[in-house]
Amino acid sequence: MNTRVLHTIAAGLVLSATSVSAQATDCATTASIAYEHAKVKNYEAAEEPLWKVRKECPTHSVATFQFGKKLLESKYKKATGAEKATLANELIALWKERFQYFPAKTKVGDMHSDIGQIMYDNKIGTADNQFVEFHKAYTDDKNNFKRPKKLYTYFSLLVDLQAAGKKELQDVFDLYDNITEKIEDEESKKAKTIATLSEKEESGAALSSKEKRNLKNAGINLRAYSKVKGGINQKLGELADCKNLIPLYNGQFEGKKDDINWLKGAAGRMSTKECTDDPLFFKLVEALHKADPSAKSAYYLGILALKDKKTSKALEYFNQSAQLETKASDKAKVYFRIGEVVKKQGNYSKARSYYKKALANKPSYGTAYLRIAAMIAKSANSCGTDVFSKRAVYWLAERYARKAGKVDPSLKKTAAATAANYKAKAPSKTDIFNNPGITSVKIGCWIGETVKVPKL
């Protein structure tokens, strides 16, 4: 090979390398320009370079798709009609491209539930198609399927498909149990944050800016989950009433009586819907306890014992159930039930301990706070030593009532009204003014707590 040819080849290689280098540099530069604009939400300026990177350098960075989603969502919120539908399809396409190029950095639960919600909101595809997206998200990546609205849509679609004869009623019940459990787990996390930070705030300690933000966000999310749970129960509606449950389970009993999971679900649903007077409930409990003596079967035997007015036996079963139960929310339900029985017997101190055990296992159990508040208020005369201290008991009752509304938004109105009632019975500003030396009141008898006197 002569020298001229070698020089020509060498020059070509240099030009080729320079071209590849320039192209790589161009991708990085263009991406940098796009990202900087997108970071400050200047999407109009970001759009052209961002889509250029998406088209020519799709593997450059997952940030291209993250900012692209924010850009499209911003336009989507402002759009109407045909433009909105077009943008909806673009969002779906963007998700699929992201998964194609960055599967390890794409959460399947987030992606498919988002696609399902976009399809549902914009009437893209059939109800079956929409349901498939949600179902894949929930079954393949449940941990990243969190948005309350998406959970409701998923369940709502299943109920509609069941009504159309495309799904079984048992499918609806199974998903209801599963989603309700997930929502309650999320509620407990948020309620625990609220209870912890509220207690710190009430003690007089200042919250950091991060803690204030966490408290605010926990409240927003808790209200959203509470609203969705109410919507899911409403959507389920009469499908889970005794008139539907009893014939359904009677028809399935013989074929399912050795299926422990089915027995647990059937007995649990009948208990929740208070179908416990029907002979079928006894058959379910008997079969369940025979097949698998457990926390659940002990709990249901306790319910039956209460119906027979065998209180001591019922408490024995309930305590056995609480000890065996491993699921926190179900353990809370058992402790609450024991608290109710003991409260009815007049043992307020013991009842409070069980209500607090319920709260320890399920921090969003607002009704437990209301029960404690009611017992405290009812004990005002017997736990105070003089007029002022007797009325001061209502401050403590008010505090517990307000906690109920904080950890369970569905009780907000009830808790607020109850707290206001207690506050009206507590010492007035005049009473506080006439007792200037009193800054706190130690409440005796079974209550054994100290309450601060509000500042004038």
The answer as to whether 49 is a domain residue is: no
The answer as to whether 407 is a domain residue is: yes
| pLDDT tens by residue, 257-305 | 999 989 988 998 898 888 999 999 999 998 998 888 889 999 999 999 9
Type of residue numbered 125: G
DSSP string, 52-68: HHHHH-TTS-THHHHHH
| pLDDT score of 456 | 67
Which residue stretches of 147-239 are H helix? 148-163, 169-202, 209-236
Which residue stretches of 273-346 are H helix? 279-291, 295-307, 311-324, 328-344
The answer as to whether 453 is a domain residue is: yes
| pLDDT score of 202 | 83
Q: Are 177 and 170 in contact (CB under 8 A)?
A: no
The answer as to whether 322 is a domain residue is: no
Q: Look up residue 305 and give its two tokens.
A: 């014992």
* The Cα angle at residue 193 between residues 192 and 197, in degrees rounded to 5: 115
For 452, the domain range is 368-456
Q: Are 67 and 34 in contact (CB under 8 A)?
A: yes
Question: Which residues of the chain are under the pLDDT cut of 50?
Answer: 1-25
Inter-CA distances, 47 with 30, 52, 67, 94, Å: 11, 9, 10, 14
The answer as to whether 405 is a domain residue is: yes
Residue among 256, 230, 222, 245 at smallest CA distance from 363: 222
Q: Are 196 and 209 in contact (CB under 8 A)?
A: no
| pLDDT score of 408 | 95
Q: Are 239 and 169 in contact (CB under 8 A)?
A: yes
The answer as to whether 213 is a domain residue is: no
| Spatial distance between the Cα atoms of 85 and 108, rounded to a whole number of angstroms | 23
The answer as to whether 446 is a domain residue is: yes
| pLDDT score of 146 | 82
> Three-state secondary structure along 354-377?
HHHHHHHHCCCCHHHHHHHHHHHH
Q: How many domains does the chain have?
A: 1
Q: Are 179 and 236 in contact (CB under 8 A)?
A: no
| pLDDT tens by residue, 79-128 | 999 999 999 999 999 999 999 999 999 999 999 999 999 999 999 999 99
Residue with tokens 């009993």: 253
The answer as to whether 270 is a domain residue is: no
